[in-house]
Amino acid sequence: MKFSVDKQEKYVVLELQEERFTNEVAPGLKSELYMLNAEGFKHIVLNLASVAECKDAQDLSSLLVGDRLCKSLGGLFVVAGVTSELESIIALSNIFNSIVFVNNVEEAVDFIFMDDLENELKSEN
C-alpha cells in the first residue's frame, strides 16, 4: 500500500496514494490507523483524493475502524477528497451516517480545530 503521513501537533493526515481501494489495500490502511492511534493521534484525516475506484463497499469498512479508534480517544476521523467515482459506493455502504466527509484536507483541519474549540468552550461552562 502506498501512502504518505503528515504528522502535525494536533492531527495527522494520512494520504492514500493508490488509484484503487481494494481488499488488498484495506488491511494495510487498518494497520496504519492502529499504529497512528497507538502513537496517541486522536484526530486523523484520511485523504482519498488519489483514489479513483472502489468496487466493493466492504473494503470501506476500514474507514469505520479509523472512526472508532479516533472516537475512543475523544477525537475525530475525517475523510477528505472523495472523488465522484467513490461517492456512489460510499452512498451504498451507509458509512456517511457515521463518518465525517469533507471536500479537502483544509476543510478537514478546520473541522478538527472547530471541534476542539467547541469542546474547550463546553468544558469551561
pLDDT confidence band for 92 (50 / 70 / 90): confident
pTM, to two decimals = 0.93
Rounded CA-CA distance 66/85 in Å is 21
Alpha carbons 96 and 102: distance in angstroms, whole number: 11
In whole numbers, what is the pLDDT of the chain averaged over residues?
A: 92
**Which three three-digit cell numbers place residue 48?**
482519498
Closest by CA to 49, choosing from 112, 94, 103, is: 103
Domains of the chain: 3-124 (3.30.750.24)
**H/E segment holding residue 100:** strand 100-102
Q: Tens of pLDDT along 20-78?
A: 999 899 999 999 999 999 999 999 999 999 999 988 888 888 999 999 999 999 999 99
